[in-house]
Amino acid sequence: MNGAEIYKRLVEAIEDRTLKPGDRLREADLAETFGVSRTPIREGLKRLEAQGLAVHEPNRGMVIPTLDHGQISEVYYMREVLEGTAARLAAQHASNAEIEILQDLVEADRQRIADEASLVRSNREFHRRLYLASHNRYLVGLIDHLRLSMILMAGTTLDTPERRETAVEEHAAIVRAIAERDSDAAETLARRHIERAEKTRLKKS
């Protein structure tokens, strides 16, 4: 594996919580885990640091950072702006096939309310499909970069059946607005969805 592949594996490990905020990233340990020399590990860690997913701390070395209350609010503010814009653009540019995919995801998610892990995975897919439906590659790139900061947040906002059900219905409302080509409503509903997710998140921090 080269440095780029190590970086990808490290991001996946943070996302699935194999590596958690606060954990140390020791080159020797990672080299043993991945079965490679320290060179690609070093390259992967440099890229991780450049993306804000690793920082140097005195006496500890490289660690995965923990976002504070203010940073969480900043991330959600940007997410609200970007995802609201994505929903607006999707209402203008999404193909009928893309809208049908979003509708199918919502219907499937209504059957997943009791399965938190499954719904969390599907939730990521719904948002990914929404971004792609905007047909704006630069917006998608910005959201992808912001997503890296999101994986530093502990847990999920979908850890109660009530919030899971509400979130799915919020998705349904966004998709209805997109299908009706109502860009104002799509943006407003998407922003409201992220705002409610932020409130849930901040209660945990």
Distance (Å, whole) CA 52 – CA 97 = 36
Contact in structure between 187 and 88 (CB atoms under 8 Å): yes
Strand partners, 24: 63
What does the pLDDT read at residue 132? Answer: 97
- In the prediction, which pLDDT does 156 show? 78
CA 63 to chain centre: 20
E strand spans, 65-203: none
Across the chain, where does the E strand assignment appear? 55-57, 61-63
Sign of CA dihedral 112, 116, 118, 120: positive
Q: What is the pLDDT of residue 205?
A: 63
Our CA dihedral for 117, 120, 126, 128, rounded to 10 degrees, sits at: -110
CA atoms within 13 A on the CB side of 134: 25
pLDDT at 201: 85
Residues 123-176: pLDDT tens digits? 999 999 999 999 999 999 999 889 888 888 877 788 878 889 999 999 999 999
Residue 121 half-sphere exposure toward CB, CA atoms < 13 A? 6
Phi, psi angle pair for 26, to nearest 5°: -90, 125
Nearest to 172 by CA among 85, 113, 116: 113
| Per-residue pLDDT reduced to its tens digit, 80-125 | 999 999 999 999 999 999 999 999 999 999 999 988 889 988 999 9
| Contact indicator for 118, 98 with CB cutoff of 8 Å | no
HEC per residue, 156-195? CCCCCHHHHHHHHHHHHHHHHHHHCCCHHHHHHHHHHHHH
pLDDT recorded at residue 77: 95
Do residues 53 and 152 lie in contact, with contact meaning Cβ atoms separated by under 8 Å?
yes
* Structure-token pair, residue 111: 């059957």
pLDDT digits (tens, 9 = 90+) for 36-88: 999 999 999 999 999 889 998 888 889 999 888 899 999 999 999 999 999 99
- Position 188 scores a pLDDT of 98
